[in-house]
Amino acid sequence: MVASAHSPVMSPIRFSRRGNALIGQEMFRVLERARVLEAQGIEVLHLELGNPRLPPPEAAVTDAIGALQRLEVGYTYSAGHPSLRKAVAELYGGANGRALTEANVVISPANLIINQFLDLVCDPGDSVVFFTPAFPTYWAAARHIGLNVLQVPLDPIDGFDLTHDDVSRALELRPRAIIVNSANNPTGAVYGREVLDRLARECDRLGIWLLSDETYGELSYGKEFYSLVGLDLPHVIIMSSFSKIFSVPGYRIGFLVADPVVAAKFTLSVSTLISCLPIFTQIGCASGIRSISEYTANVRARCDRITKWCNASMGQCASIRFPHPAAGFYYFIDISATGIDDMRFAERLLEEEHTAVTPGSCFGAAYGGFVRIAICGKEEDVRLGVTRLTDFVGKLQAERGVV
Amino acid sequence: MVASAHSPVMSPIRFSRRGNALIGQEMFRVLERARVLEAQGIEVLHLELGNPRLPPPEAAVTDAIGALQRLEVGYTYSAGHPSLRKAVAELYGGANGRALTEANVVISPANLIINQFLDLVCDPGDSVVFFTPAFPTYWAAARHIGLNVLQVPLDPIDGFDLTHDDVSRALELRPRAIIVNSANNPTGAVYGREVLDRLARECDRLGIWLLSDETYGELSYGKEFYSLVGLDLPHVIIMSSFSKIFSVPGYRIGFLVADPVVAAKFTLSVSTLISCLPIFTQIGCASGIRSISEYTANVRARCDRITKWCNASMGQCASIRFPHPAAGFYYFIDISATGIDDMRFAERLLEEEHTAVTPGSCFGAAYGGFVRIAICGKEEDVRLGVTRLTDFVGKLQAERGVV
């Protein structure tokens, strides 16, 4: 753009520091690259996003439709629809021996809850601890806010389990906040009760805020899940998401359980940022809770069946390594023996085999030797995708002359 | 809590600076106070929230239901569903003579767009100009981010119109950003083309970011609305909301039109904060656009009819003053002659007359002599609420011995 004395000088576009620090979520970029291929008529297998394709609990859909038919399309409370807050309080209070009321529960999209948590408890420059590998939104939110991320890498030899040593290292760093994620995305690990209890009690004693992201807790099939919701500790916030519990990621409805004072702060944040959430999707989720046991039992059985097949199938491929997941939808696969990094691996797998996966470095810069696959799509697609992946690894080895 | 040598010392709860700066939206607190009365069996008239109770365009509901029945409950693009982005680009490009594509459009809740705008372009301590009175979310977002709000108060004698003098004063303050809101909430003023054009062009020339909040533009019945969407200026971002256009606030779907580089930055922000929005509500809004002219013509006719009645009814009450709105759902009413302030007025009106209104100071601390009423509820409720309000003003005057 050339400026003359007679044309107005154009000012360059300049964003804020927080604007410049946005990185978004790589999985959604992989999705968009996949869509480019699909627009060319190519069928792509989607193993990149935890986008469950199972039918949701019937009532979660029919009751949302019913509310829409009744034109329940107005505003509701910033803290969430009373029916859903009550249902969550009863469900999680009852199952974990803690007297919870609506005042402990706030409804918000799970992805937003992660951002809200760090926003409400950390100032720019504060330190936050992630046990790595860690979910991309944690990184994106911390970077947006300007936090100093301290990593406690979990040991792949232990299947990325959380140990007492890991907890000690995290606490010694004296961060402002810690995020712990059991059942884990991307590793599928489910952490033990004792180690989680110690982490939570020590955090509360030291005034370190702890977000316990239990999004995949209901979907533990290989090990009993332990929730921190049973502890009544003001610095400990529990979150989960109906996206995964009920296979309705498009509802964008998650929830948190916290001390009432902390819950009220989250409510103010919801009010400021998004006013409130839709009524009809909240009514749908409240109805889904009536059949949560049967529904999640089915999902767990399905995950168990598919992972058994995947464990066996990928287990025959000598060039990749992975812990057997005990929960959730994901495999975190060590591809370092293939000789190419995660970005190149994901790019070539998409272009050559039309199969989308998430690069491991989205879960921490140290994980460029990994990719994540999601097994929550259609079962035949998962099997075909995994077969393509192992075939592709074979092809890479052949290229390098490895037998 | 008493700490002993044997019990762990409890750490006090401490939030971040941004957490402490949250104020939320007062209208939602008024709503919650009203709900307390309703829980006691008292019927409350809701004139506090712009919560339209008109039936939405039929297709906006039936096509959302259809998408739910097809189980379109997965993730979609962070920038928004392609069908809706395309429909918005065609509608607003076509109506305003600007070649818009999907790359110019991002779908996000309108309330979040306000927060995202200030977050993306302002650093803490930066100045932002509001023409006052101004919508509460502007204040809440600016305070959350730590901005220095500079006010340019509009003149009630002009019906709170935006004048060239106001624009000059705003530009002379050399802020990082300005928010302009025509058609206006709470005053109902619709600003002139020339003054808006000058504001936009000067902002872009000076590198001042301008958010043009045009949420009520489609609902202008007393004066022709002028949209800045026709100007192709990188520093100017246009936003609106289907909450008001289609009477579906519970969908939580708004949109913005911007330069593609700026739109991409907003998309990253959506991806980081909320991943994406539901597919089915976006499909509903895209379908609603097919009948937008007929639908908004009906809403405008309705607003025109109700405001004519309100103008006449409230005009007979000598102790209150208000400009006749030319757009949208609101009256901004000067109650200073009643001798009590807005908070006390709203509180007593709710308790004594069971009618909820929004205190004027929510729109700027200087407006403690005003209240806002919304006329988008059921017509008979609006009439009854307005009658209760004028009766209440009469009662206040009688209490003070004013005849």
Q: Are A55 and B158 in contact (CB under 8 A)?
A: no
Is B51 within 8 Å of chain A by CB?
A: yes
- pLDDT tens track for B265-275: 999 999 999 99
Grade residue B403 by pLDDT with cuts at 50, 70 and 90. Answer: low
pLDDT for B84 equals 98
Residue B6 has pLDDT above 70, yes or no: no
How far is Cα of residue A57 from the mean position of the Cα atoms in its chain? 21
Coil, strand or helix at A176: coil
**Helix pair A110-121, A260-274: axis angle to 10 deg:** 110
Q: Chain A neighbours among B 73-92 (CB < 8 Å)?
A: 73-78
Give mean pLDDT, residues A217-227: 96
Tell me if A112 and B75 make a contact (CB, 8 A cut-off).
no
Lowest mean pLDDT among A40-54, A102-116, B278-292, B385-399: A40-54
Residue type, B210: L
Per residue in B75-112, pLDDT (tens digit) is 999 999 999 999 999 999 888 888 999 999 999 999 99
Mutate to test the interface with A, among B49, B185, B272, B362 (most CBs of A within 10 A): B272
Residue matched to tokens 């205190």: B359
Residue A16 reports pLDDT greater than 80: yes
Pairing mode, strands B127-132 and B148-153? parallel
Cα distances (Å, whole numbers) of residue A146 to A114, A119, A126, A403, B75: 14, 10, 8, 47, 27
Overall pTM > 0.90: yes
Q: Does B39 touch chain A (CB under 8 A)?
A: no
**In which band, very low, low, confident or very high, does the pLDDT at B4 lie, cut at 50, 70 and 90?**
very low
Q: Using CB atoms, pick whichever of A32, A115, A278 lies closest to residue B251.
A: A278
- The residue among A293, A250, A240 whose CA lies nearest residue A84 is A240
CA–CA gap between residue B272 and residue A362 (Å, rounded): 13
Taking a C-beta distance cutoff of 8 angstroms, is the pair B105, B128 a contact? no
- Cβ(A255)–Cβ(A81) below 8 Å: no
Phi, psi dihedral angles at B302 (to 5 degrees): -65, -45
Confidence of residue B9 (pLDDT cuts 50, 70, 90): low
Tell me what the pLDDT averaged over chain A comes to: 94
Band (pLDDT 50/70/90 cuts) for residue B222 is very high
B350 has a pLDDT exceeding 80 = yes
Determine the distance in angstroms separating the CA of A282 from the nearest CA of chain B, rounded to an integer. Answer: 11
Q: Is A177 on the interface with B (CB under 8 A)?
A: no
Rounded to 5°, angle at Cα B242 from B241 and B246: 140
Cβ neighbours of residue A252 closer than 8 Å, sequence gap 6 or more:
A109, A243, A277, A281, B274, B275, B276, B277, B278
Q: What is the pLDDT of residue A24?
A: 77
Instruction: Assign 3-state DSSP to chain A and report helix, strand, coil percentages, each to 5.
Output: 50, 15, 35
Mean pLDDT to the nearest integer, B40-55: 90
Convert the pLDDT of each residue in B160-214 to its tens digit. Answer: 999 999 999 999 999 999 999 999 999 999 999 999 999 999 999 999 999 999 9
Token pair, residue B23, equals 């104020």
Lowest mean pLDDT among A335-344, B25-34, B219-228: B25-34
DSSP calls for B210-252: EEEE-TTGGGB-SS----GGGS--TTEEEEEEHHHHSS-GGG-
**B-chain residues within 8 Å CB-CB of A201?**
8
pLDDT of residue A320: 97
Three-class secondary structure of residue B330 per DSSP? strand
Say whether pLDDT at B29 is over 60: yes
pLDDT at B28 over 80: no
Inter-helix orientation angle A379-399/A292-315, to 10°: 20
